[in-house]
């Protein structure tokens, strides 16, 4: 999606909804819930790299988001000053300081769990991406980038399935993350009963759409379209960690 189109769809993304919510904050709270649910993994990774045990990291992640949703966030005049990524880790540090000052107090949010953990395995995801040399902040940034890419890829998969191309996507998906070697396109063509040329065209289109979806995911976590390019650059840097 070109930059010229950004303004057309940016206004409806989650972070912008949160930022404009004031007196009538129902829409902003819903958007904040969606963002929190989407980006819980980076928070979990940050806590694990700070040497919290898996159970403690999971409990603190849930407690943190309950705290965030129950705070006066939506009433603050300028709650973010930029990107949701930066706001979230800043709020976490504040929460941890407060949490340790009141250790033993009742868990914030009570039994509230606005995130459905049934389909999530935060520790498995952490183990898959963890690198011992990363400090907590770096682990957070890398998990943020991987989460964003995963969300975009999942959306692409759903689109392909809706178009009746689920099998085609399954075979071609590896080419979205790695350069094909000699014979790979031919093997994919044979599996799909088509030509190598068609495979090359399909992969090109998938890559283009994937890039659009990544950009859309980025847009939902920044304050204005002007910040998308720099956040995309930050995403690439985080993936190199």
Q: For helices 40-49 and 84-101, what crossing angle results, to 10°?
A: 50
Instruction: Provide the whole-model pTM.
Output: 0.80
Task: Give the model's pLDDT for residue 117.
Answer: 45
What is the number of residues in the chain?
241
DSSP code per residue over 151-171:
HHHHHHHHHHHHTT-HHHHHH
With beta carbons less than 8 A apart as the criterion, state whether 104 and 58 touch. Answer: no
Of 78-87, 182-191, 201-210, the poorest mean pLDDT is in 78-87
Tokens 């868990």 sit on residue: 107
Mean pLDDT of 163-182: 95
Residues 193-233: tens digit of each pLDDT: 999 999 999 999 999 999 999 999 998 888 888 889 999 99
DSSP 13: S
- Provide the pLDDT for residue 128: 73
- Among 31-45, 155-169, 210-224, 227-241, top mean pLDDT goes to 155-169
Q: Between these two residues, 156 and 126, which has the higher pLDDT value?
A: 156
Q: Single out the residue of 34, 41, 33 nearest to residue 120, CA to CA.
A: 41
Tokens of 186: 């031919």
Q: Report whether pLDDT(77) > 70.
A: no
φ, ψ at 50 (rounded to 5°): -90, 15
Write down the pLDDT at residue 105.
Answer: 43
Find the helix packing angle between 122-129 and 54-70, rounded to 10°. Answer: 110
Q: What is the mean pLDDT of residues 105-113?
A: 45
With beta carbons less than 8 A apart as the criterion, state whether 177 and 239 touch: no
Look-up of token digits 């790695």: 178
pLDDT above 60: residue 157? yes
Q: pLDDT category, 101, cuts 50, 70, 90?
A: low
């Amino acid at each position: 999606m070109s930059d010229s189109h950004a303004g057309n769809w940016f206004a409806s993304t989650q972070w912008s909804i949160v930022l404009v919510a004031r007196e009538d904050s129902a829409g902003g709270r819903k958007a904040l819930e969606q963002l929190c649910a989407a980006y819980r993994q980076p928070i979990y990774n940050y806590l694990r790299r700070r040497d919290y045990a898996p159970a403690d990291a999971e409990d603190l992640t849930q407690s943190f988001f309950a705290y965030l949703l129950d705070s006066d966030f939506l009433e603050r005049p300028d709650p973010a000053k930029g990107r949701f990524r930066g706001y979230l880790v800043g709020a976490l540090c504040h929460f941890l300081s407060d949490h340790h000052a009141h250790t033993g107090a009742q868990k914030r949010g009570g039994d509230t769990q606005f995130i459905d953990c049934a389909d999530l395995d935060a520790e498995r995801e952490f183990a898959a991406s963890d690198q011992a040399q990363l400090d907590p902040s770096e682990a957070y940034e890398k998990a943020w980038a991987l989460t964003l890419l995963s969300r975009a890829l999942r959306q692409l998969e759903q689109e392909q399935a809706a178009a009746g191309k689920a099998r085609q996507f399954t075979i071609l998906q590896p080419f979205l993350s790695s350069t094909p070697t000699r014979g790979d396109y031919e093997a994919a063509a044979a599996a799909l009963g088509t030509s190598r040329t068609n495979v090359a065209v399909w992969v090109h289109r998938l890559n283009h759409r994937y890039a659009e979806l990544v950009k859309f995911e980025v847009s939902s976590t920044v304050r204005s379209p002007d910040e998308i390019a720099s956040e995309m650059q930050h995403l690439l840097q985080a993936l190199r960690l």
